[in-house]
Amino acid sequence: MADIEITITCPVCNKDFQKKAVEMPDGTVIKCPNCGEQTTIRGDMFSKMAESTYKPEKTYES
């Protein structure tokens, strides 16, 4: 699966930080590394985004 980095802006301190989309399924609680504010991810938008970019490599037989 692709390691898509999502930029998240904290709603409290307005600082940006990065998280991998695959690490944020519905219900995940993320903590701002700057101020410590905790936010719950609702929906599986980020994890589905990562899954949609995954394409298995094609193998060719000789």
Give per-residue pLDDT as tens, 18-28: 988 888 788 88
DSSP state of 53: T
Only one residue has tokens 């985004």, namely 49
**Residue 58 main-chain phi, psi, to 5 deg:** -80, 140
Per-residue pLDDT of the chain (62 residues; tens, 9 = 90+): 457 888 888 989 999 999 888 887 888 899 999 999 998 887 765 666 556 555 555 555 55
Closest CA to 9 of 39, 43, 49, 42: 39
Q: Residue 27, CB half-sphere, CA atoms under 13 Å: how many?
A: 0
Q: What is the pLDDT at residue 1?
A: 46
Domains in the chain, CATH or no CATH each? 5-52 (2.20.28)
